[in-house]
Amino acid sequence: MLDKERIKEKLSDLKIYSKRLSSIVPSDSDSYKNTDIILKSAIERNLQLVSDVELDILALLYKGLELKLSGDDLSLIESLSGKLSKKSINKIKERRTLRNLLIHAYANSSYEEESFKQAYNTADVTEFIKEVGQLLA
């Protein structure tokens, strides 16, 4: 059985983090590269939060739909490929990959372009929220 209330709470959190990203991300990649470390850190942290909440929602869906697959994050994401669009699944994978890189190799600045790209365009988060809402209905 789906825990619809917890999923709705998580969707609300996801909206907050996505909106926060939209309000703090610079308007272009060059501006992002020249942004101070505090703002970059805030953007990267919110990207991590979006990824973590998306995964929490997928775990709640997985448990509630009683799917019969277990394993790591990628297995969990893949298990819902029949329930969510391929585009959403791919964006979740991209964000999860970036999240893991940011957490485990933070000092490496080669992730700036991908961080900017994901923070600047959060349309996929809105689409994910819509798809999950349809599953709950």
Shortest CA distance to 43 belongs to which of 87, 95, 104, 89?
95
Domains of the chain: 4-136 (1.20.120.580)
Nearest to 3 by CA among 72, 87, 66: 66
Cβ proximity of 46 and 122 under 8 Å: no
What number is the average pLDDT over the span 104-122?
Answer: 81
> Of 70 and 128, which is predicted with more confidence?
128
What is the length of the chain?
Answer: 137
Assigned token pair, 96:
């999860």
Percentage of the chain exceeding pLDDT 70: 93
Whether 69 has a pLDDT exceeding 60, the answer reads no
pLDDT of residue 81: 84
Share of the chain above pLDDT 90, in %: 62
Both tokens assigned to 21: 């990203």
What are the CA-CA distances from residue 112 to residues 99, 101, 103, 120 (Å)? 12, 11, 14, 12
pLDDT tens readout for residues 12-61: 999 999 999 999 999 999 999 899 999 999 999 999 999 999 999 998 98
* Confidence at residue 133, expressed as pLDDT on a 0 to 100 scale: 93
User: What sign for the dihedral angle of Cα 110, 36, 22, 51?
Assistant: positive
Cα distance between residue 111 and residue 71, in whole Å: 27
